[in-house]
A and B are shown apart, each in its own frame.
Chain A
Amino acid sequence: MKALKNLWNRYATPTNVKIAYVLFILASMAVAGGAPSGSGGVGN
């Protein structure tokens, strides 16, 4: 738990958190706005 807290303190800077937030929103936008067909679906 202490190691986790150390990692958080070291890497979760406001800039890094903001970058992660923007990437999460854009990935969500890509999945929600797009409508691609992947392989492996089942048709009938």
Chain B
Amino acid sequence: MILALAVVVGLIASLICHRGGALDRIAAISLRWAWLVPLALALQWPLLRAPAGLREQIGVQQVLFWASHLLLLAFVGLNWRSNAIRIVGLGVLCNLIVILANGGLMPVTPETLVQINPGTSLGQWTAGAHYGYSKDIIVAKQNVVLWPLSDILVLPAPFPWPAAFSLGDLIIAIGIIILLQGSPTSLRVLTVESRQV
């Protein structure tokens, strides 16, 4: 959920940069087949609500999770004309690659979990277990495939919501922030509309 902050940051940045025009710019953003995105999120919901346990216990949730990525990639493809959506798509792809390379869930190491869960120890995080209520699986660092793309970036305490995230997550956040500044396409729409008025 930490990534939803990108929307807030993007909105604030847009209000600062464009002042009164920010909301018109956002309203002019055109997204095709946007309903695919909440549908993808709905497919992921069972995994996000699954408590910690063995990977075998969340087989169905994992299949739905993989299927949701087809919808996300379709959404990116249908909105390919937007540079910001291409950036978001790159982030989704980075995450998907490392997820597939590690058996279907995002790998996170016990060391990272100790960083974002102060007061815990390495021994509390069993390799191979699903990290509850997330898309992550706990993997020992030496066993992580494509480690640089996994959840290695950390926002530690005293940040109010300590979290670990991946390079793909960061790229998605950047894409969303850029998109909320209004694309050249949406600016052209605004120009045409203002001329008509």
Residues of A within 8 A of B (CB): 15-16, 18-19, 21-44
In the complex the two chains form, is A28's CB within 8 Å of B38's CB? yes
Cα A21 to Cα B23 in complex, Å, equals 12
Give the complex CA separation of A39 and B95 in angstroms. 20
Which residues of B come within 8 Å of A, CB atoms?
A: 1-4, 6-7, 10-11, 23-24, 26-27, 29, 31, 34, 37-38, 40-41, 44, 51-52, 68, 72, 75, 88, 91-92, 95, 99, 106, 108, 110, 112-113, 116-117, 124-126, 129, 131-136, 138, 151, 157, 161-166, 168-169, 172-173, 176, 179-180
- Shortest Cβ distance from residue B53 to the other chain A in the assembled complex, whole angstroms: 9
Add 8 more A-B contacts to A36-B169, A38-B162 (CB < 8 A).
A19-B23, A23-B26, A28-B40, A30-B173, A31-B1, A34-B168, A38-B2, A44-B126
A-B contact count (CB 8 A): 151
